[in-house]
Amino acid sequence: MSSHTDSSDTGSDSETVHDIAHPRFAALYDLLPQRLLLGPHRESLAVELAGRVLEIGAGNGAMFPFVAEEAATDTLEYHAIEPDPHMRERAVATAQETGLAVELRDARAESLPYPDDAFDVVISSMVFCTVQEPEAALSEVFRVLRPGGEFRFLEHVRADGWRETGQNLLTPVWKRAAGGCHLNRDTVGLFVSHDGFAVDEIERLSFGVFPATPFVRGTLHKRRETVGI
Ligand SMILES: C[S@@+](CC[C@H](N)C(=O)[O-])C[C@H]1O[C@@H](n2cnc3c(N)ncnc32)[C@H](O)[C@@H]1O
- Mutational pocket test of ligand 1: of 82, 86, 110, 127, the residue with most ligand atoms within 8 Å of the beta carbon: 127
Nearest residue (CA) to ligand 1, atom 23: 57
Give me the domain span that covers residue 197: 2-222
Indicate the burial class of 117 (C-beta count within 10 angstroms; 0-12, 13-18, 19 or more): middle
CB 125 within 8 A of CB 63: yes
- Residue 227 within a domain: no
Tell me if 111 CB under 6 Å of ligand 1: no
Whole-number Å distance, alpha carbon 201 to ligand 1 midpoint, is 23
Tell me if 46 CB under 6 Å of ligand 1: no
Residue by residue, pLDDT tens for the chain (229 residues) are: 544 433 332 223 344 444 899 999 999 998 887 777 899 999 999 999 999 999 999 999 999 999 999 887 688 999 999 999 999 999 999 999 999 999 999 999 999 999 999 999 999 999 999 999 999 999 999 999 999 999 999 999 999 999 999 999 999 999 999 999 999 999 999 999 999 999 999 999 987 889 999 999 999 999 987 666 7
What are φ and ψ of residue 14, in 5° steps?
A: -75, -25
CA distance 218 to 208: 16
Tell me if 87 CB under 6 Å of ligand 1: yes
Whole-number Å distance, alpha carbon 73 to ligand 1 midpoint, is 24
Grouping H, G, I as helix, E, B as strand and the rest as coil, residue 192 is helix
CA distance 147 to 220: 12
Using CA atoms in the order 212, 46, 25, 214, what is the torsion angle rounded to 10 degrees? Answer: 0
Nearest residue (CA) to ligand 1, atom 1: 126
The pLDDT score that the predictor gives to residue 72 is 77
User: In this structure, what CATH number is given to the domain that contains residue 44?
Assistant: 3.40.50.150
- Residue 229 within a domain: no
Query: How many domains does the structure of the chain reveal?
Result: 1
The pLDDT score that the predictor gives to residue 227 is 65
What are φ and ψ of residue 93, in 5° steps?
A: -65, -40
- Residue 228 within a domain: no
Whole-number Å distance, alpha carbon 30 to ligand 1 midpoint, is 13
Atom of ligand 1 nearest to the CA of 87: 27
Whole-number Å distance, alpha carbon 55 to ligand 1 midpoint, is 10
Instruction: Give the global pTM.
Output: 0.91
Span between the terminal Cα atoms of the chain, in Å: 35
Q: Strand order in 197-205's β-sheet? A: 2-5, 102-106, 76-81, 51-56, 119-125, 145-156, 215-222, 197-205
CA distance 97 to 175: 30
